[in-house]
């Protein structure tokens, strides 16, 4: 079951804190920015079905404070696993499944089990798992051209001979620029399409990273 969460984003996450599309991913704003993507993009929730099963729980859960590590910033000192997640990784949530059972589940930085959290490129890993399952069931053919499954791409010369396997391996050879400071970068075309309106141009201070070009 799917339901519309946001049909028209406001591009404004928190007027009180002045957090918006230009600065949501600044380090000081990530705790709230990564939990409120529905304010930046059109959002549809794919809810769980009626027949669900809870994840099996292990008899013993992993206690974070029992694990001690060398501090990556101060090697002469030690920190607990909880301190490492909270103060070094700035982690929002952690779920560990071992041998089919949950051995640890925790939330921090204001996140709860009910929140939606942007997962960035982890999406590719999840989609790859689903594609692999479909291939094993012979529902998808890795050697088929991607246009057979996404008809909109069949009419585009750049995608004409690209196979599902090549897309799966991120070897399609399509030039893609993810330079957030460049208003002409491919990323911003994607953002404008996802928002459904003219996405504001990035501010000069939005990113300071160098140009990143990759194959999508």
pLDDT of residue 200: 58
Classify each residue of 38-58 as buried b or exposed e, where b means 16 or more C-beta atoms within 10 Å of its C-beta: bbbbbbeeeeeeeeeeeeeeb
pLDDT of residue 216: 40
Q: What is the mean pLDDT of residues 97-104?
A: 95
pLDDT digits (tens, 9 = 90+) for 58-94: 999 988 878 998 999 999 999 999 999 999 999 999 9
pLDDT digits (tens, 9 = 90+) for 1-26: 788 998 888 889 999 999 998 898 89
pLDDT digits (tens, 9 = 90+) for 194-205: 776 556 555 544
Q: And the tokens for 173?
A: 């050879």
């Amino acid at each position: 079951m799917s339901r519309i969460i946001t049909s028209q984003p406001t591009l404004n996450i928190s007027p009180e804190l002045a957090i918006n599309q230009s600065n949501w991913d600044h380090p000081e704003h990530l705790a709230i920015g990564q939990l409120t993507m529905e304010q930046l993009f059109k959002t549809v929730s794919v809810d769980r079905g009626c027949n669900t099963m809870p994840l099996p729980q292990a008899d013993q859960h992993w206690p974070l404070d029992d694990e001690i590590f060398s501090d990556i910033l101060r090697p002469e000192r030690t920190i607990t696993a909880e301190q490492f997640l909270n103060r070094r990784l700035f982690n929002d949530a952690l779920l560990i499944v071992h041998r089919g059972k949950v051995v640890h589940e925790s939330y921090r930085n204001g996140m709860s089990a009910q929140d939606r959290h942007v997962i960035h490129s982890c999406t590719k890993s999840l989609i790859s798992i689903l594609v692999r399952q479909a291939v094993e069931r012979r529902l998808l053919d890795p050697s088929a051209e991607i246009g057979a499954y996404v008809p909109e791409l069949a009419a585009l010369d750049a995608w004409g001979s690209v196979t599902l396997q090549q897309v799966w391996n991120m070897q399609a050879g399509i030039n893609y620029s993810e330079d957030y400071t460049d208003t002409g970068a491919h990323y911003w075309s994607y953002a404008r399409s996802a928002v459904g309106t003219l996405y504001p141009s990035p501010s000069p201070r939005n990113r300071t990273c160098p140009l990143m070009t990759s194959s999508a």
